[in-house]
A = this chain, B = another copy of it.
């Protein structure tokens, strides 16, 4: 690749990040949000937004990339290869919840990943993200070591994971659950389901 990765000098970098964060936050709650909405949320003029991201598609692509990167870092820090699978999974859930709005944004509309995801330009899109890989490995390890249900597909477990984290974060966002209660609640339900254990 010959794309010169400019280090984003101080000022420009800060505005760029502000726009990306605001975009993720706004779009997470309203997929049809206007560029004007996003600019306003970022405390930035609409023309400034256009200066950083020529058109809506470029912005979307950048937000997806950025969100995936942030999420990827969180997941990496969770050190999924280490320790018992169940504990690693708890760290993962905490990490995902910690990634905040970006989860809402990425997961909220299946189309964003399909259209603006990593390989949306190639035809070959299965939804396989860089983030997915370590997670799937953890799930498979957990099944192999007898910690996770071996009778369902790893991909399904992963889907459930995303769905529960998303739902938990969303409920907290609406004030139905206290912020600090999200991770424990999701962990509990994810591990045990809703059946009563004596």
Interface residues of A (CB under 8 A from B): 30-32, 86, 109-111, 143, 146-153, 155-157, 159-160, 163-164, 166-167, 170-171, 176-177, 185, 188-197
Contacts and interface: CB of A to CB of B under 8 A. Distances in A.
Contacts of A177: 153, 156
Nearest to A156: B185
A195 to B, nearest CB: 5
A166 B195 CA distance: 20
A159 B171 CA distance: 9
Contacts of A167: 159-160, 163
Given A110-B170, A163-B166, A185-B156, A195 B31 contact: no
A50 B12 CA distance: 48
Contacts of A157: 194
A31 B196 CA distance: 37
Listed from nearest, the 3 A-B pairs whose CB atoms lie closest are A193-B193, A163-B167, A192-B193
B86 A148 contact: no
Contact of A194 (B111, B190, B196, B197): B190
A148 B196 contact: yes
Contacts of A146: 196
A91 B31 CA distance: 33
A177 B86 CA distance: 25
B109 A31 contact: yes
A195 B155 contact: no
Given A156-B185, A170-B110, A185-B156, A195 B86 contact: yes
Contacts of A164: 160, 163
A146 B86 CA distance: 26
B197 A149 contact: yes
A182 B190 CA distance: 18
Contact of A147 (B111, B156, B170, B195): B195
